[in-house]
Structure 1
Amino acid sequence: MIESWSTDETDPAARGNAFGAAWGERVRATLTEYEELFAGRNVGAATVQQLSEASREVVAEHAPEILAEIDGVAAGAGIAPWQAMALSARTEILARASVVTEECSTAVFIPADGRSPRTVQTWDWYSQMAHETVVRSQPAPDGARIVTFGEFGQVAKIGVSSRGLGVHFNILQHTTDGSQPGVPVHVLTRMILDRAGTLAQALEIVDSVPLGASTVLTVVTREPAAACVELSPAGWAAIRAVPGEPLLHTNHFLDPALAAGETPATAFSTTRERLAYLDGRGSAVEISDPLARVSALASEEPGSICVDPDTRRAPGDRPETKATFTIDVDRCELGFAPSHPRNIGAEQWRTATALVPA
């Protein structure tokens, strides 16, 4: 289930407190899930607190307003500030684990005639987690508005702003992950949604912060422009969209320099099969109607973007597709459903707009 929450509160601490109070049970349940996940990957409670506190220090320097919101969530939900930070720093904490994780497939198409970009993403995560998530609608610091999806207590993941900028999110892994404290990638996503209106502005934000873990953020704007921004502690690279050609990404680096330091995938990885599937379905990504675009990518065949739990893997290490998203930067709209593309019909499909009412 994907819940919805909307607020006009402009004070970050008050906004976080209100969210924590409204969804405290869900926030605490999500925290318990992550505590179990960390422990199952030999990341002990003391290490989790240490990494969370280090993340707090970096966020305080680069995004103090977001830290105030995280602390507000902690107060409202009745958990410690470092525990609230752990939810948005989960990628950085998992970087200390020896297990390689896999998450998500993203596709973007910018028509050659300058019309609006089309996007689609599947969100994959562990079967035992994230049964309930949330789409939040709230003000940005400059008076714009953002809509963002995430697990309860996370500041952002996939989202769009009223400036006509959207962000998709896929995990990556690099041998330098966990080598230094950095701005958590979920916080970086939120910084881009809160502050940027163009691809150039988004890249300036990326270039201004240290990173502690790897991810690819696919930034799409109504310019129109788009780029898969591959992030790692070793550096970052932007793979820019070419109008008339699909821009695709799964869970391996495409930039040659960053790919040279990539953590090897597991024997169960489907990242290259999913990328090949998207490459063979480029015409589907071109479809202008979001739900029709999603439906055109639905498939039961092996190697599609629909990820099912793999029974060859340990019970706590089975990713699956949990939700599907599209972003319309002209309408500033996030489309979503808590399901595989193959299971989504009109009755399941929902939208949330970041447009500020006139």
Structure 2
Amino acid sequence: MIHEWHDDHTSARERGVAYGRAWGAELRTALGEYVETFDRMALDAERITQVTADAVTQTAVHAPDVYAELEGVAAGSGMTLREVMTLNARTELLALMKPQGGECSTAVFLPADGPPRTIQTWDWLDALSADTLVRSHLAADGRRVVTFTEFGQAAKIGVNSRGLGVHFNILHHVSDGSGSGLPVHILARRVLDEAENIDEAIAIAESAPLSASTVLTVVAPDRAACIELAPDGVAVIDAVHGELLAHTNHFLDERLSAGEVALYASTTVERLACLTDHPDLVALPTGIDRALALGAVPDAPISMRPRAESPRHLQWASKATLTIDVASPALEFHAGAPADVTRERWRRVSATP
């Protein structure tokens, strides 16, 4: 289930306390699920402690407002800051041992004249995050930010009232796994809270040390770009007007792709082909029409279903379908894969003040 939460606190810590009090049960459930999953993956407990401790330090240095909020979340929920950070640093922890499968398919069509049209599936381990959240908050400068997240995370996919949106896909690189870096979910939050345009989003992405790879597909009223991030460097792939820009879970930049880590059983190539084969569907003017059209493609791999032959803790599923409107800033979404979308259950949360 995708829950919603709206907050008007201007103090980061007070916002965090309110969040922790409102969603303490869900936060503890999410933490328990990840702890169990890390145990099944045989992640070393000492390394988990090291990564989360470093994530706390890096967040305090590179994202002090988010750090204050997470301190508040811990206080409001009765959890420790390290436990809250475990949820934010789950990508960095998984980078220590790359799991089978993949996560997320994103596509943007940039019209010759008009704002970009976007869609993303959020694919994740089926055993995790049955409950998620679309949260709305005020950033330090007064902008409204709406973001879809797993419980406890600072941000993932979202849009702000300045008309800047972020899609989010995981990547895997040989430079991943150092354990020292700002969590990519907190980096995404900084972009939503601070960037006015795509150039500023790129500058924020280049300013932070990382220990895990990801790609932020950033959209603005007149531009879209994929910012590929790895501990080894940053690459930017700009969208071309009148064409489709799609990204799944492998690098497109030539230099970074040389360090690609190919995952067993990943469908990243098939999902990218599915999107690039249907630019006309991504170009449809409304988010609901894009989702319904892609959901109607027969046997489309972007509607990911759990594989019965995989262990329960390594089964992947499309858990949400989302689009971003930057013209009238809003996040639109539906639980499940594109093939599950209905008009009746399609939802929209505005970022307009």
How far is the alpha carbon of 1:180 from its aligned partner?
A: 4.9
The separation in 2 between residues aligned to 1:300 and 1:311, in whole angstroms, is: 23
Residue pair 2:135, 2:146 contacting (<8 A) in 1 also: yes
Distance 1:225 1:300 in 2: 28
Hey, what does 1:65 align to over in structure 2? 65
Task: Map 1:196-215 to 2 at 5 A.
Answer: 196-215=195-214
Secondary structure of residue in 2 paired with 1:242: coil
Q: Which amino acid aligns with 2:49?
A: Q
RMSD across aligned positions (CA): 1.1
- Structure 1 runs (4+) deviating above 3 angstroms are 299-303
Superposed, 1:182-331 pairs within 5 Å as: 182-222=181-221, 224-266=222-264, 268-299=265-296, 301-331=298-328
**Residues 50 and 179, structure 2, Cα contact 8 Å, conserved in 1:** no
Q: 1:251 to 1:323 in 2, by over 3 A?
A: same
TM score, norm. by length of structure 2: 0.98
Query: Greater shift after overlay, 91-100 or 194-203?
Result: 91-100
Equivalent residue of 1:288, what SS? Answer: coil
Aligned to 1:5: 5
Q: CA deviation at 1:299?
A: 3.8
What one-letter code is carried by the residue in structure 1 that aligns with 2:313? G
1:177 corresponding residue in structure 2: 176
Paired with 2:250 and 2:277, the residues of 1 have a C-alpha distance of 18
Partner of 2:139: 140
Name the SS for the 1:218 alignment partner. Answer: strand
- Aligned equivalents of 1:34 and 1:182: distance in 2? 20
Q: How many residues align?
A: 353
Contact 1:175 1:262 survives alignment (8 Å):
yes
* Structure 1 counterpart of 2:77: 77
Aligned to 1:348: 345
The residue aligned with 1:31 is 31
Does structure 2 conserve the Cα–Cα contact (< 8 Å) formed by 1:164 and 1:329? yes
Amino acid at match of 1:55: A
- Quote the Cα distance in structure 2 between the aligned partners of 1:147 and 1:351: 10
Helix, strand or coil: the match of 1:296?
helix
Distance 1:282 1:140, change over 3 A: same
Question: % of aligned pairs identical?
Answer: 48
Contact 1:180–1:233, Cα closer than 8 Å, also in 2? no
Which residue of structure 2 lines up, in the alignment, with residue 46 of structure 1? 46
Which residue does 1:151 correspond to in 2? Answer: 150
Cα pair 2:93 2:179 within 8 Å, conserved:
no
**Unaligned ranges ≥5, structure 2:** none
State the TM-score, normalized to the length of structure 1: 0.97
